[in-house]
Amino acid sequence: MPDELVVPPPAEFAAQANVGADEYARAAADPQAWWAEQARRLQWDEPFTTVFDGSTLPTAQWFTGGKLNVAVNCVDRHVAAGRGDKVALHWEGEPGDSRTITYAQLQDEVCRLANALEELGVGHGDRVVLYLPVLPETIVTTMACARIGAVVSLVFGGFSAEALRFRVEDTGAKLLVCTDGQFRRGNAVAVKGAADAAVEGLDHVEHVLVLRRTGDLTPDVPWTPGRDVWWHELVDRQPAEHVAPSFDAENPLFIIYTSGTTGKPKGLVHTSGGYLTHTSWSHWAVFDVKDDDVYWCQADLAWVTAHSYEMYGPLSNGVTQVIYEGSPLTPHPGRHFEVIEKYGVTIYYTAPTLVRTFMKHGPELPAGFDLSSLRLLGSVGEAINPEAWLWLHRNVGGGRCPIVDTWWQSETGAAVVAPLPGVTPLKPGSGTVPLPGLSATVVDEAGNEVAPGEQGVLVITKPWPGMARTVWRDHARFVTSYWEPYAAQGFYLAGDAATKDADGYVWIGGRIDDVLNVSGHRLSSIELESALVSHPRVAEAAVVGAPDATTGQRIVAFVILRGDGSSEVAAELREHVAQQIGPVAKPRDVVVVPDLPKTRSGKIMRRLMADMTAGRGGGDVTSLQDETALSAVETAWAQYVQSR
Ligand code: ATP
Ligand code: MG
C-alpha cells in the first residue's frame, strides 16, 4: 500500500482554515448536539424540536418539528443580509459565451420561475425532471422547485431518450424541462426530439418547458401544442416576487439516480433539513470556502457531486462559483486551465478520470496557463491513483494546494470520509478519515472491525443527517441493498471494499463485487490498477477477475498505453505489478485497448468487462457514456483470446 508518503497541511493554509483540529473531538463528544449546532448555520422558519429520531430506521428523521425553505437558505438570505451584489455564478458556455449572475439576480430568476411553475400547475410534492446542460437556468429551476416544494430530479443532458424515459416514468413527473439543443464537443445537437420520445404516451407529464439554447443552430424544434411551452414566453413575464412557504425538515427535496456502476440505477430520495445541514457544513469545512473564493466544481449538474457541491452546498454558503457548460477538452484540452486562469479560480474540485486524461497530455498542458490563483484542489468519483494525485498536486496545484479526496455516494448525500484541509495530513490515494460527526469503519462479514491492512467492507456505523431516506417507489430495495446485510449492528453497507491502515486512514479498494479472489488471496481492483498506472507506459487501466478452474479467478488487466509504440508490454507490466504488490498480483492476461467503458460520470464499468471475460452478457448498459468503447474492448478481447 503506497501509504508511506504523508503530506501535512501547509502552515499558512492551516493558520487560516475554517475548521481546526478540535472539531473531531467536539463532534465525537456529542454528535447529535454537534449536528444541531451545524443545523443552526441555516435559517429555520420554525426551530426543530428533535435532532434525531431513529424510530423509523432505516429511514431516520432529522430535525423534526423544524421548518425551512431550502431555496431561501441558498439564495434569499444572502440578499437579505446585504450580499445581493455578490456574484453567485460565473457561467462559461462551451462556445465561449459567458454570463455573470449575482445573488440578487438569482433571487429574481428563481422567483420568476417559481411563479411560472405554479402557473403550470406544479406544486408541493409534484416531480419535475430536468434534462438540461450546465446552465444558470438549470440551477434556477432546481432552486425554484425547492422554493415551491416540488421534488426535482436532474437527468444528465447527454443521456439517450431511453435513459431519460426511465427516469421520467419512474418519478411520475408532471413536468419535463429541456432545451431545444445542446452543445456537445463543439457541435450544436438538437435534443427536443429525444425529450419528446421520452415522454411519449406518459399521461402524467402535463407540460414540457423548453429553454432556448442552440436557437438557429437547431431549427425546426418539434412542438406539441398545449403541452409544450417556451421558457421565454412563460417565465419572462412573471413577477420577480414570490412568497416562499416553509416546509418540514423531512420534506423530499430531490431524487437522484445512482450512476449505475453496479447495476440498474437506484432513485434515492433526499430530504431537506438534514441534507442541507450535512451538505452546507461539509462544503464549508472540507473546501474551506471564504467570502473571496472563486470555487469551481467541474461535475455535470445531474451528478450527486454537483447537487451537494455545486448547488445546495456552495449556494447555502453564499459562495462565488464558476460553472462550465461544455466538455473539458473542447475546443482544446487546456480548456479547464484556461477557465481557471480567466476567473482566478481558487478552489477546483475534479475527478480522477479527468486527471488521468490531462496526464496523457503531459505537464506541458497545465504549465501553459497561470494557475497561481489556486489554493485548494479536490477529487471525487473514484479512488484517485497515487500517481494521478501526485501529478495533480505538482502540476496543477504547484505543490502548494492540499487535495481533498472526498469519499461519498449518492446515498450518503455529502462527504463522509474526507480530510479537513487545514488539519488532516494527506496520504495520496486515501480519503483519509471520517469527517467530524460521521462514523465509518471497515468490517468483516461478521461485522467486526478488521485489523489494519486487512481487506473488509466500508460501513457507516451511525445514522447521519444527509443520508438518503429511501429508494423512490422501492423501499424494499433500499432496505435490502444497504441495511439488511448488517441489520444486527445497524450499519449502513456502502458497497465498497476497503482497508484501514495503522493510522485509521481508509483506502477504498473498489466495489465489493470487483474484489478479486486469486488462490484465496483477496486483491483490490483499485490497488492493482494503481500499480499499473504507476508504470510510465500506462495511461489508464481496468482490472477484473475472470473465472479460472485452478485459481478461482485470474487477473485480467485492460490497459490504455501512453503515446504510441509497441504494445508488447505484457511481460514488463506483469513484472512491474509483481514488484509493486507481489507475485500473486501478476495479471495473467494483459490486453491493450484503445478505450475503456465508463459511465457518464467517468467511472470505469468493470462489471461489463468481467461479464465479457466470463462469457456472460446482458448487463445494464444504459449508463454507458459511449457504447463504442465497450465494443472496442470486446474486439480487443476477442483478438487476444484467439491469439492466446
Ligand atoms: P451504482 O450505485 O448504481 O453502482 P455509483 O455507485 O457509481 O452507481 P455514485 O453514488 O455516483 O454511483 O458513486 C459512489 C461511489 O463512487 C462510491 O461508492 C465509490 O465506489 C466511488 N467513489 C466516490 N468518491 C470516491 C473517492 N473519493 N474514493 C474512492 N471511491 C470513490
Ligand atoms: Mg453506488
* Residues 578-604 pLDDT 10s: 999 999 999 999 999 999 999 988 899
- What's the pLDDT score for residue 219? 96
397 lines ligand 1 (CB under 6 A): no
Percent over 90 (pLDDT), the chain:
91
Confidence of residue 564 (pLDDT cuts 50, 70, 90): low
CATH number of 603's domain? 3.30.300.30
431 lines ligand 1 (CB under 6 A): yes
| Most distant CA pair in the chain, distance | 72
Query: With helix as H, strand as E and coil as C, how does 45-100 read?
Result: CECCCCCEECCCCCCCEECCCCEECHHHHHHHHHHHHHHCCCEEEEEECCCCCEEE
- What's the pLDDT score for residue 519? 87
Least confident window among 240-244, 402-406, 439-443, 622-626: 622-626
Residue 375 has pLDDT above 90, yes or no: yes
Average pLDDT (282-297) is 98
Residue 323 lies in a domain: no
Residue 124 lies in a domain: no
List 271's β-bridge partners, or say none. 252
Confidence of residue 95 (pLDDT cuts 50, 70, 90): very high
- What's the pLDDT score for residue 563? 77
Structure confidence by residue, pLDDT tens digits, 272-289: 999 999 999 999 999 999
Residues 6+ apart with CB under 8 A from 271: 62, 249, 250, 251, 252, 253, 469
**Ligand nearest to the backbone CA of 601:** 1
351 lines ligand 1 (CB under 6 A): no
Residue 219 lies in a domain: no
Pairwise CA distance, residues 289 & 613, whole Å: 46
Residue 1 has pLDDT above 60, yes or no: no
Residue 106 three-state SS: helix
The domain in which residue 569 lies consists of 518-643
- What's the pLDDT score for residue 565? 60
Which residue in 360, 363, 358, 403 sits closest to 383, CA to CA? Answer: 403
Residue 318 three-state SS: coil
Distances (CA, A) of 46 to 206, 216, 273, 464, 609: 34, 49, 11, 21, 52
Average pLDDT (415-438) is 98
Please tell me the distance between residue 411's alpha carbon and the centre of ligand 1 in angstroms: 9
Residue 603 lies in a domain: yes
Q: Would you tell me how many other CB atoms lie within 10 Å of the CB of residue 451?
A: 12
Residue 633 lies in a domain: yes
What's the mean per-residue pLDDT of the chain? 95
- What's the pLDDT score for residue 617? 81
Q: Which residue of 262, 382, 601 sits with most ligand 1 atoms within 8 Å of its CB, as the best mutation to test the pocket?
A: 382
Decide the pairing of beta strands 175-179 and 127-132: parallel
Average pLDDT (327-333) is 93
Structure confidence by residue, pLDDT tens digits, 487-507: 999 999 999 999 999 999 999
Q: Which residue of 349, 406, 409 sits with most ligand 1 atoms within 8 Å of its CB, as the best mutation to test the pocket?
A: 409
Task: Return residues with CB closer than 5 A to ligand 2 (ion).
Answer: 258
Q: Where is 552: in which H helix or E strand?
A: strand 552-561
92 lines ligand 1 (CB under 6 A): no
304 lines ligand 1 (CB under 6 A): yes
First-last CA distance in the chain:
32
Q: Where are the alpha helices (DSSP H) in 457-504?
A: 475-478
Question: For the chain, how are helix, strand and coil distributed in percent, rounded to 5?
Answer: 35, 25, 45
Residue 487 lies in a domain: no
Pairwise CA distance, residues 547 & 315, whole Å: 49
Decide the pairing of beta strands 589-592 and 552-561: parallel
Cα–chain center distance at 178: 22
Confidence of residue 573 (pLDDT cuts 50, 70, 90): very high
- DSSP tag of 406: -
Total number of domains constituting the chain: 1
Decide the pairing of beta strands 376-379 and 403-405: parallel
Q: What is the pTM of this model?
A: 0.96
Residue 481 has pLDDT above 90, yes or no: yes
- What's the pLDDT score for residue 98? 98
Confidence of residue 618 (pLDDT cuts 50, 70, 90): confident
Residue 334 carries which side chain, given as an amino acid letter?
G
Q: Would you tell me how many other CB atoms lie within 10 Å of the CB of residue 32?
A: 16
Residue 41 lies in a domain: no
Residue 533 lies in a domain: yes
Residue 61 has pLDDT above 60, yes or no: yes
Average pLDDT (436-460) is 97
